[in-house]
Amino acid sequence: DALITSINHSSPPSSTKRHLKISIIGTGNVGMAIAQTILTQDLVDELALVDALPEKLRGEMLDLQHAAAFLPRTTISASTDYAVTANSDLCIVTAGARQNPGESRLNLLQRNVGLFKKIVPPLVQYSPDCTLMVVSNPVDILTYVAWKLSGFTTNRVIGSGTNLDSSRFRSLVADHLDVNAQDVQAYIIGEHGDSSVALWSGISIAGVPVLNFLDKKQIPYKKETLEKIHKEVVNCAYEVIKLKGYTSWAVGYSVASLARSILRDQRRIHPVSVLAKGFYGIEGGDVFLSLPAQLGRAGILGVANVPISEEEAEQLRKSATTILELQAQLGD
Ligand code: 6V0
């Protein structure tokens, strides 16, 4: 078996193209955190913003433009008209309806599908060669919806998925072991949110598989400690929302790191939402779930064949079934 199962992808656009452009759809808390992180990282020549609220949109654009003296040079434009997104390399969708009190998850999902029907076709029309990145929740299902609406090949439609959950996981494991989070390799895969799967056996620090090391040295650890850390990963988003009303900074950095890997052809591995059918025995329909995927200029280049336990694979298949059931209720 190959280390990475390559995904069919067309050759990357000519490397002679110098002008890089990202469009962000939805300039709420999440969209603006992504925008500002991208600007500080000198990633693109042009940043276009789209929202349905023209005044808020113009206010955000001006506020960013006024920081020009402190930032790498980037042209920032904004409009409610999708023409502003023309020739983007990457389009990031963060637009989303807010859950009404008492509203069911399915109803919210249906409203967001309605929004995506207005958003994805014009993005594809104006940037037929772009990569689409979906951030809006529920991210796995909306990535599937965006893929269907776009007609793009699967390598060019990516959900930000558990990239954020994994960074939360790495920082909690790092705190626990008193090391730097950047030195912790650890993945959360599967559905972004409540039913995500933590890959415990894959955690390594300085190339040392942590649980294997503890077992070998007969250093005891409790299964409950591991479960507690995973629970914390799941709950910390709720905690932030309870405390400040929304989450923004961590998702901003998380999505900017995905954008960098794609546009700078970094070929790094990130857990992101991809068409998961065929991996780990996932069958029964087209379902997007996060798996460790290699990202580069052509979008998703492949999926890393990370060994997982039968229990973990079973959890993945269970999430896939739940998502497929919801997708079946969406209709056309
Ligand atoms: P927000 O602050 O309400 O922003 C949403 C924005 O979308 C608003 O500015 C709206 O005006 C805009 N909008 C609504 N309809 C349209 C439309 N048709 N066209 C263009 N813009 C439109 O929400 P926030 O920014 O906090 O969250 C955005 C989405 O990101 C939500 O679905 C969150 O659940 C999701 N998140 C996803 C995360 C992930 O890791 N995948 C993490 C955090 C939040």
* Better-predicted residue by pLDDT, 106 or 146: 146
- Choosing from 9, 192, 230, 270, which is the catalytic residue? 192
State which of 100, 113, 137 you would mutate to test the pocket of ligand 1, scoring each by most atoms of that ligand within 8 A of its C-beta: 137
Phi, psi values for residue 133, rounded to 5°? -120, 125
What confidence score (pLDDT) does residue 146 get? Answer: 98
Task: Give yes or no for residue 201 having a pLDDT over 90.
Answer: no
Q: Which of 67-81, 116-130, 224-238 has the lowest mean pLDDT?
A: 224-238
Task: Give yes or no for residue 15 having a pLDDT over 60.
Answer: no
Task: Give yes or no for residue 13 having a pLDDT over 60.
Answer: no
- Residues 49-75, mean pLDDT to the nearest whole number: 96
Task: Give yes or no for residue 168 having a pLDDT over 60.
Answer: yes
Rg of the chain (C-alpha set): 20
**Cα–Cα distance list, 306 to 10, 46, 188, 316 (Å):** 25, 36, 12, 13
Predicted TM-score (pTM) of this structure:
0.94
Say yes or no: CB of residue 115 within 6 Å of ligand 1: yes
Say yes or no: CB of residue 134 within 6 Å of ligand 1: no
Strands, DSSP E only, in the chain? 4-6, 21-25, 46-50, 75-78, 90-93, 131-134, 157-159, 184-185, 188-190, 196-198, 204-205, 208-209, 268-275, 288-296, 299-304
What does DSSP assign to residue 12?
P
> Is 270 a residue of the active site?
no
What does pLDDT average to over the chain? Answer: 93
Helices 29-40 and 54-65 pack at an angle, to 10 degrees, of 20
**Cα–Cα distance list, 90 to 13, 87, 324 (Å):** 12, 9, 27
State which of 51, 92, 192 you would mutate to test the pocket of ligand 1, scoring each by most atoms of that ligand within 8 A of its C-beta: 51
Task: Give yes or no for residue 127 having a pLDDT over 90.
Answer: yes
* Better-predicted residue by pLDDT, 107 or 48: 48
Tell me the pLDDT band of 12, cut-offs 50, 70 and 90: low
Spatial separation of the C-alpha atoms in residues 163 and 256, rounded to whole Å? 11
Q: Retrieve residue 111's tokens.
A: 């409203």
Reading phi first (left if > 0) and then psi (alpha if -120 to 50, else beta), residue 65 is in alpha
Reading phi first (left if > 0) and then psi (alpha if -120 to 50, else beta), residue 32 is in alpha
In contact, 275 and 9? CB cutoff 8 Å: no
Say yes or no: CB of residue 137 within 6 Å of ligand 1: yes
Do the interacting molecules here have an ipTM over 0.85? yes
Task: Give yes or no for residue 179 having a pLDDT over 90.
Answer: yes
| Cis-peptide into 138, omega within 30 deg | yes
Phi, psi values for residue 317, rounded to 5°? -65, -35
What confidence score (pLDDT) does residue 14 get? Answer: 57
- Residues 86-104, mean pLDDT to the nearest whole number: 90
